């Protein structure tokens, strides 16, 4: 597969072609996802919940993400690889730069940080030094305690406006991508129309540029199933490869997520 770059995703956005993202944590699933046509793979701190059995992403360490990124890199066949900076690994400038460099050395092409205006300066610092940033807004799981649980964000107009303004600010500070988690579909549409960078959604409706799912959700083995999750394995006649191909096809033809799998 021709390697996917930020430029590829930018062109897809311009042509209104949806791209497909999924989380992965090891080499063989990564290979399978690439063969199914997935364009972007995230080594997410969701590994704390789906691999390690924690009830949040907070216990995940840099060493955890580095280890899984190294595994994913070995199985990669051209997907764009994003790595999460875990909880409290980007609280100062020097820590952000050093930890991002460690993830890039482990194989990441893009670094993902959770936050709004407060990560603008880090976004600028990283971008100026050649490290592309994916900003993660809306429901930011590392702040689950402050948010009072895994709840939909941006439902009241004031909060929605803050998300829009901060997304614009992060683009201005150099973010290369934006990920929106658990926000109303109409808000996600507004943001992806206002921004020139590719916008990925999870629980953000279908009108963003790409969709992402945690691989365990696609395979229907997560204990918690919010409304935006779909088990693609349930209807697959070709096991796991068939499930991933169906996920890819459903994102491309915009049948996933449906209105029932979105927030309004
Ligand atoms: O860590 C992760 O897997 C994520 C997804 C939920 C987007 O950030």
Residue 35 has pLDDT above 90, yes or no: yes
The residue whose CA is least distant from atom 1 of ligand 1 is 44
Options 39, 98, 181, 235, the catalytic residue: 181
The domain that contains 51 carries what CATH number?
3.20.20.60
Number of compact structural domains in the chain? 1
User: CA end-to-end span of the chain, whole Å?
Assistant: 37
Nearest ligand 1 atom, CA 112 = 8
Establish whether residue 84 lines the binding site of ligand 1, counting it when its CB lies within 6 angstroms of any ligand atom: yes
Q: Tell whether 41 is covered by a domain.
A: yes
Q: Tell whether 179 is covered by a domain.
A: yes
> 49: CA distance to ligand 1 center in Å?
10
Residue 1 has pLDDT above 80, yes or no: no
Of 48, 97, 88, 38, the closest CA to residue 68 belongs to 48
Q: Tell whether 223 is covered by a domain.
A: yes
Which of 56, 57, 183 maximizes ligand 1 atoms within 8 Å of its Cβ, making it the mutation to test the pocket? 57
Q: Tell whether 254 is covered by a domain.
A: yes
Q: Binding site residues for 3-methyl-2-oxobutanoate, as ranges?
A: 45-46, 84, 112
pLDDT for position 243: 98
Q: Binding site residues, as ranges?
A: 45-46, 84, 112, 114
* Kind plus residue range of the DSSP H or E element containing 82: strand 80-84
Residue 30 has pLDDT above 80, yes or no: yes
44-99 pLDDT per residue, tens: 999 999 999 999 999 999 999 999 999 999 999 999 999 999 999 999 999 999 99
Kind of pairing between the strands at 210-213 and 19-23? parallel
Q: Tell whether 1 is covered by a domain.
A: no
Answer whether the bond into residue 224 is a cis peptide, omega within 30°: no
91-117 pLDDT per residue, tens: 999 999 999 999 999 999 999 999 999
Establish whether residue 86 lines the binding site of ligand 1, counting it when its CB lies within 6 angstroms of any ligand atom: no
8-22 pLDDT per residue, tens: 999 999 999 999 999
Establish whether residue 202 lines the binding site of ligand 1, counting it when its CB lies within 6 angstroms of any ligand atom: yes
Dihedral Cα 154, 42, 134, 150, nearest 10 deg? 20
**CA angle (65 as vertex; 90, 39 as ends), nearest 5:** 105
Q: Tell whether 130 is covered by a domain.
A: yes
Please indicate whether residue 181 is annotated as part of the active site.
Answer: yes
Residue 139 domain boundaries: 6-261
- What DSSP line would sit under 187-245, residue for residue? HHHHHHHH-SS-EEEESS-S-SSEEEE-HHHHTT--S---TT---SSTT-SSHHHHHHH
The DSSP 8-state label assigned to residue 79 in this structure reads P
Q: Is the separation of the CB atoms in 116 and 170 below 8 Å?
A: yes
Residue 24 has pLDDT above 90, yes or no: yes
**Per the structure block, which two tokens stand in for 122?**
């880090």
pLDDT for position 207: 98
Establish whether residue 203 lines the binding site of ligand 1, counting it when its CB lies within 6 angstroms of any ligand atom: no
Nearest ligand 1 atom, CA 141 = 8
149-182 pLDDT per residue, tens: 999 999 999 999 999 999 999 999 999 999 999 9
Q: Tell whether 67 is covered by a domain.
A: yes
Helix/strand/coil (H/E/C) assignment for every residue in 149-163: CCCCCCCCHHHHHHH
Nearest ligand 1 atom, CA 214 = 3
């Amino acid at each position: 597969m021709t390697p996917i770059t930020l430029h590829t995703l930018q062109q897809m956005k311009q042509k209104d072609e949806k791209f497909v993202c999924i989380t992965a944590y090891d080499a063989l699933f990564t290979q399978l996802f690439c063969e199914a046509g997935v364009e972007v793979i995230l080594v997410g701190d969701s590994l704390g919940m789906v691999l390690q059995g924690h009830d949040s992403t907070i216990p995940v360490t840099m060493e955890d993400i580095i280890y899984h990124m190294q595994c994913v890199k070995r199985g990669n066949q051209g997907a764009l690889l994003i790595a999460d900076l875990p909880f409290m690994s980007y609280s100062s400038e020097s820590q952000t730069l050093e930890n991002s460099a460690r993830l890039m050395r482990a194989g990441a092409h893009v670094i993902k940080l959770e936050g709004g205006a407060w990560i603008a300066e880090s976004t600028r610092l990283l971008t100026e030094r050649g490290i592309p940033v994916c900003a993660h807004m809306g429901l930011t799981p590392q702040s689950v305690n402050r948010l009072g649980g895994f709840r939909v964000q941006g439902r009241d107009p004031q909060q929605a406006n803050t998300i829009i303004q901060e997304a614009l600010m992060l683009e201005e500070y150099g973010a290369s991508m934006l990920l929106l988690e658990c926000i109303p579909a109409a808000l996600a549409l507004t943001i992806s129309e206002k921004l020139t960078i590719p916008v990925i959604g999870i629980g953000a409706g279908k009108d963003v540029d790409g969709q992402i799912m945690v691989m365990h959700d696609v395979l229907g083995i997560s204990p918690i199933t919010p409304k935006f999750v779909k088990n693609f394995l349930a209807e697959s006649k070709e096991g796991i490869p068939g499930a991933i191909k169906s996920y890819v096809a459903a994102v491309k033809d915009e049948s996933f997520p449906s209105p029932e799998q979105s927030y309004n």
